[in-house]
Amino acid sequence: MLAVLFLAVVFLAYSNGANDNFKGVASLFGSRTCSYRTAIGWATVTTGAGSVAALFFAQALLKRFSGKGLVPDALTTQPEFLLAVALGAGATVILATWLGFPISTTHGLTGALVGAGVVAGVGDVNFSALGKNFVTPLLLSPVLAVLTGAALYALCRALRLYYGVNKELCVCLGAETEILPMRRPAGVFAAEALPKLTVTAAETAVCLQRYAGTFFGVNVGRLVDALHFASAGAVSFARGLNDTPKIAALLLVATALNIRWGLLAVAAAMAAGGLLNARRVANTMAHKITDMNPGQGFAANLATALLVNTASYHGLPVSTTHVSVGALLGIGITTRQAKWKPVLGVLLSWVITLPCAATLAALAHWLVRLG
């Protein structure tokens, strides 16, 4: 049973990496600062660094996500219960990944703990602790992220204008093929492909935006790109620090396994999931929430990194997903480029996450008990 539990936790970690790893670097790809491959590579390295740091700095989350305080201590020592939690949360996250929805593994784990706990005994779930320690931070974090993202962008924009840094737009030249009907002898018409020159010059997503000028002798465009990469790395580091102990906490029952080896296994599985299965969520995060330029992406990442790292330090189980999407949405609202239709779909997936994970974990617990 402990071996099966270990595999289930690795599956959950893989699902988490597939759904979450790209979130910290989505603005790099969305603003065309770098390619998808470069972005996911940077996310893998920095998330891995956060996972290693979790070995030393994330003990509060490790204890909280063992389920203690939410369900009776007796349940948190049962491999069957923890197996149901891992399967319920993992199945929910991988399903959302296949559909391209960025959801919260934190939310999935919370729902799975509740679902498996209810099946174990309806009086066994501490719903007051659920509201205080889990639901409230999860609900407040996206709201705080929207406000923080908007405020930081406004501050960065004010500083840019104060120091006289201007936006630099490219002119996009290209050739398109246009199919035109051509009259031939004897009244016969035929289609012929002719080249057509196109010119675009506008502040839109099809034209790259960079910054002109220098700041204390440093090229502003290069400085913004460097800060953007640094902020993306900080977000990914925070995610590794925040999420790795949540998943590894399910292995605390396996006393024969040193928890540090469990944390390393979780980190490796998260990296694999991001490298192999992150493309659909990447497209949603990078292109379906808001259009952005490098400066706006930097402001969103800075807001996300500040909130998630602060939460990790205080042991609060906030969702990196909720914070990251909230920060991007805050930028989109400020610039009036938010794409509300796909955003509403993402918000609906957040509402469904907890009951879906609870249902799947309850079903898994029932099947495990039958076996």
Max Cα distance, the chain (Å): 90
Does residue 260 sit in the same domain as residue 194? Answer: no
As separate numbers, helices (DSSP H) first and strands (DSSP E) second, the chain gives: 14, 6
Give the closest residue to 229 by CA, choosing from 283, 157, 169, 297.
Answer: 297
Residue 55 lies inside a defined structural domain of this protein? yes
- Please give the tally of structural domains in the chain: 2
- By CB atoms closer than 10 A (0-12, 13-18, 19+), residue 74 is exposed
Q: Count of CB atoms within 10 A of residue 143's CB?
A: 12
Residue 302 lies in a domain: yes
DSSP string, 155-178: HHHHHHHHTT-EEEE--EEEEEEE
Same domain membership, residue 89 and residue 183: no
Do 119 and 196 belong to one domain? no
Residue 283 lies in a domain: yes
Is the pLDDT at 189 greater than 70? The verdict is no
Judge if 153 and 189 occupy the same domain. no
Residues 348 and 237 placed together within one structural domain of the fold:
yes
Domain shared by 84 and 178, yes or no: no
- Beta-bridged to residue 191, according to DSSP, are 181
User: In Å, what is the CA distance from 227 to each residue of 33, 103, 230?
Assistant: 11, 27, 5
208 inside domain: no
Same domain, 39 and 175: no
Q: How far is the C-alpha of 146 from the C-alpha of 326, rounded, in Å?
A: 5
* Residues of the chain above pLDDT 70, percent: 73
Residue range(s) defining the domain that contains residue 333: 2-166+216-370
Q: Is the confidence at residue 13, as pLDDT, over 60?
A: yes
Q: Do residue 21 and residue 122 come from a single domain? A: yes
pLDDT interval class at 249 (50, 70, 90): confident
> What is the structure's pLDDT at 206?
43
- pTM value surpassing 0.85: no
Residue 323 CA, chain-centre distance (Å), reads 9
